[in-house]
Amino acid sequence: MRVYDYNKKWQQLLTPEIVAMLSQIHEFKGEQNSFIEAQSDTLTQLVEIAKIQSTEASNKIEGIFTSDERLKKLVTNKTTPRSRNEQEIAGYRDVLSTIHDSYEFIPVRPSIILQLHRDLYKFSGKSIGGVYKNADNVIAEEDNEGNRFVRFQPIPAWETPDAIEALCDAFDDVIAKNEADPLLIIPMFVLDFLCIHPFNDGNGRMSRLLTLLLLYRSGYIVGKYISIEKAIENTKDTYYEALQSSSQDWHQEENDYAHFVRYMLGVILSAYRDFSARVKVLATSGMSKPDRIREIIKDTLGKITKTEIMQKCPDISQVTVQRTLNDLVKSGDIIKIGGGRYTSYVWNRVSN
């Protein structure tokens, strides 16, 4: 069976590129933790938006959908699931809420992983929830012509319980020594979890939930305010490419974690940058609502949509946003691009 030991492998990841990304994340974390402590009440709306986006995106990666209206009602507990997809969405919602509310009290141990997986399927009635796979599985892909092929062969079902136990022990061991940056160890752990592929279904969603849990427990709670799952869904092709690159020669213990670590650090850094931009908007709360919208567009390089503006200003109504956009277009401050659902806006830097 593969040996899980991160104590030496993490040092191989300290390339100039990765070290630079770590430094930037540490800087963002220091700046924004103080803001979170001082302005926790004003961030409530960001938390609610992130919950909806995370629940939607993580399930969407796996082909699990519902309408936008139904999704919002499910995430806010204003309806009950009506379909198999909605049952799985509701399960993700509850596990995500558990992690958000109680991460300090949830160590990453095999029994905890099984409980979280059980809750992921608690609305579906499936017997697979909370138990390891009972048959060997494969990670398969389809090419553009619909041909299915095996991308990776996970470990056999009979090895799974011991492998997850060893994986959790290895993680606890390296973290306890307090020498390695958790931001390096967490993606390594997640990659190994996905290569083990311990469940019949739900491995991808569990990997993203565990990513959040481990980040929160290490003090990186940006995922509560900015959806990390959405960032992954938006870069899904790159996500799968990084997984594939870092899983090559995994069974021979010669795989290179760097591809996946770089990808995940990029996602985390992107989330912190997004949070920083939204904090800037909150800091301008003394402005009128139209002025805040104006400043957001002005500070955006390139195009921005009405939806993106509303996400940055959850306290401003859609009517106010639309009226302000119309006024700014008439005044020539911004330029309207496209039409209908594809409408976007850009600051007129020629005349301003």
Mean pLDDT value across residues 38-49 = 76
Whether 157 shows a pLDDT value over 90: the answer reads: yes
56: its two tokens:
């939607």
pLDDT, one tens digit per residue, over 3-17 is 999 998 999 999 999
For residue 152, the cross-strand partners are 139
Whether 276 shows a pLDDT value over 90: the answer reads: no
Mean of pLDDT over the chain: 92
pLDDT, one tens digit per residue, over 277-321 is 777 766 655 678 898 899 889 888 889 999 889 887 777 889 999
Q: What is the 3-state secondary structure (H, E, C) of 178-204?
A: CCCCHHHHHHHHHHHHHHHCCCCCCHH
Determine the topology of domain 288-347 in CATH: Arc Repressor Mutant, subunit A (1.10.10)
Phi first, then psi: give them for residue 139, nearest 5 degrees.
-100, 110
Whether 33 shows a pLDDT value over 80: the answer reads: no
∠ CA(126), CA(199), CA(111), 5° rounding?
90
Q: Which residue has the higher pLDDT, 260 or 276?
A: 260
pLDDT, one tens digit per residue, over 183-223 is 999 999 999 999 999 999 999 999 999 999 999 999 999 99
Region(s) of the chain under CATH 1.10.3290.10: 9-280
Q: Which CATH architecture has domain 9-280?
A: Orthogonal Bundle (1.10)
The count of residues in the chain is 352
pTM for this prediction: 0.85
Region(s) of the chain under CATH 1.10.10.10: 288-347
Predicted local confidence at residue 191, as pLDDT? 98
Could you tell me the pLDDT band of residue 337, with boundaries at 50, 70 and 90?
A: very high
Whether 41 shows a pLDDT value over 70: the answer reads: no
